[in-house]
Structure 1
Amino acid sequence: MKNLMVLAVTFIGFSMLNAQNSDIKLYTKYGSDHKELHDLMRFQDVETIKLTFTGNDLKGKHYRLLVKEYTNGSLAKIDTIIDSGQHDYVSVINDTIFEFKYHVKTQINNTIKMNFKFDRFSSPRLYNIRASEDKYALHDFLKSSDPMPVELNAKTLIMGYFLPYIDKVSGWKKYCDVSGSEYKPEEWGTVFDIPNYYLIEIIFE
């Protein structure tokens, strides 16, 4: 009986480990390779990033992409951009590479325009924001130039679009101090007194 219990615990642990781990990696690339287009996008305050996921574990998987809005330190809204398992026109991932482009812009009418551009379709969004003189900034969650590991069946934060932390001593507006901090992104509003920001999350399952 003791041996059976040890075997069962080992099997459960092994199964949990396999369920949590995967070979999926995320690579990101900002901007455009075309200089004139890149300059025009900067003039228009459009930020863009290409997200490329690679790994054998992608094949046969569905994906969900979510935008979470935080206001005054609390989760205010969750918007499902795409749930591939719920649409006939979106098939499972059939390759070891999955990628899409993300464009975002803060507009003069106090809205944020986002667009998620996939291979055969796109999903645009408009969000109302608080009036603010500060610019929002787009940052991914890669800690360095190395790719980000992505688990299966788990929520993975991949990007943030947020207002800066304002240093009360120097008065400087700091973005990297936020995205590169030790605090969880869900805590940014409270820790850094950021009134409004957005987190983009993906799940492969």
Structure 2
Amino acid sequence: MKRILNITVAIVCFSGLLAQQNESNFETTPDLKLETEYASDNVEISDILSFEGIDYMKLTFSGEDLRGKSYHLTVKEIWDGKIVSDTTVIDSKSLGFKQFQTLSDSVFKMRVVSKHTDDNQLKMTFKFPRFSVTKNYDAIDSENYSLRNLADESNLEISYNKSFYLLAYILPYEREDGILSWCDVGSSGNDIENWGAKFGIKHYLLFEMKFE
């Protein structure tokens, strides 16, 4: 019965995210907007992604002030409630090709593909216009990791010229009734760096974005 309840909670939570995919368009600064699409509109592809344990997310930022800005994505690895590393995923200013260093359009699109591998790694590919970056991070032996969009779930502020929380790759919170819940964590507000202590989560990744 516990397994059935866990699956039910996951389905309810994920269904909520899918329902948002055409609605998660919100404005938090004068003209910076974010739209998110989860999984795939194609049922067969969505089934395959789910069967293989792959998270797939499409993010679209839009705003006139994006033109001419660079972008910087970092990740904090948090174990047992403590930040053990804070590293760069991509810093466009360090790219060798000048045309990639700043944005020339008012729309910036990126896709994220992630999976927990058999050797207990979180493999993540970040796809940007005309190039991609793949990273691997240590993980525990669990297939319960889930990639979450914090800006959507916790309605966090996104803005220009300062870092903002964007994504988290988390394990679920085990409630007193034994049910596993990802939504309780992902929608819990902006005290994100303390999730480990608050929810008893062994490990998670926390991603921050900055346009400047």
Q: Normalising to structure 1: TM-score of the pair?
A: 0.83
Shift of 1:21: 4.9
Query: Alignment partner for residue 130 of structure 1, among 116, 131, 140?
Result: 140
CA distance in 2, matches of 1:202, 1:182: 17
Residue-by-residue CA offset, 1:144-187 (whole Å, 9 max, x unaligned): 6xx865211111111111001111x2011111111111451111
* Structure 2 residue identity aligned to 1:186: E
Match of 1:13 in 2: none
Identity of aligned residues (%): 36
Residue-by-residue CA offset, 1:28-62 (whole Å, 9 max, x unaligned): 11012233222111111101000100001100000
CA distance in 2, matches of 1:33, 1:79: 33
Residue-by-residue CA offset, 1:114-169 (whole Å, 9 max, x unaligned): 0001121110011111234x50112112346xx865211111111111001111x2
Match of 1:3 in 2: none
Structure 1 contact 26–149 (Cα < 8 Å) conserved:
no
| Partner SS, residue 127 of structure 1 | strand
Query: Alignment partner for residue 59 of structure 2, among 48, 51, 58?
Result: 51
Query: Alignment partner for residue 203 of structure 2, among 196, 201, 205?
Result: 196
Closer/same/farther in 2, CA of residues 38 and 23 from structure 1, 3 Å limit = same
Match of 1:61 in 2: 69
How many aligned positions are there?
A: 183
Match of 1:74 in 2: 82
Structure 1 contact 59–93 (Cα < 8 Å) conserved:
yes
Of residues 183-192 and 112-121 in structure 1, the stretch that sits farther from structure 2 once superposed is 183-192
| Partner SS, residue 201 of structure 1 | strand
CA distance in 2, matches of 1:22, 1:151: 9
Q: Normalising to structure 2: TM-score of the pair?
A: 0.80
Closer/same/farther in 2, CA of residues 202 and 183 from structure 1, 3 Å limit = closer
Match of 2:103 in 1: 93
Structure 1 contact 59–95 (Cα < 8 Å) conserved:
yes
**Mapping of 1:19-30 within 5 angstroms?**
21-30=29-38
RMSD value over aligned CA atoms? 2.0
* Structure 2 residue identity aligned to 1:33: D
| 1:150 and 2:163 are equivalent in the alignment | no
Closer/same/farther in 2, CA of residues 194 and 149 from structure 1, 3 Å limit = closer
Match of 1:116 in 2: 126
Match of 1:105 in 2: 115
Closer/same/farther in 2, CA of residues 50 and 112 from structure 1, 3 Å limit = same
Closer/same/farther in 2, CA of residues 183 and 192 from structure 1, 3 Å limit = farther
Q: Which runs of 5+ in 1 are unaligned?
A: 1-19
Rg comparison, structure with higher value? 1
CA distance in 2, matches of 1:183, 1:99: 24
* Structure 2 residue identity aligned to 1:201: E
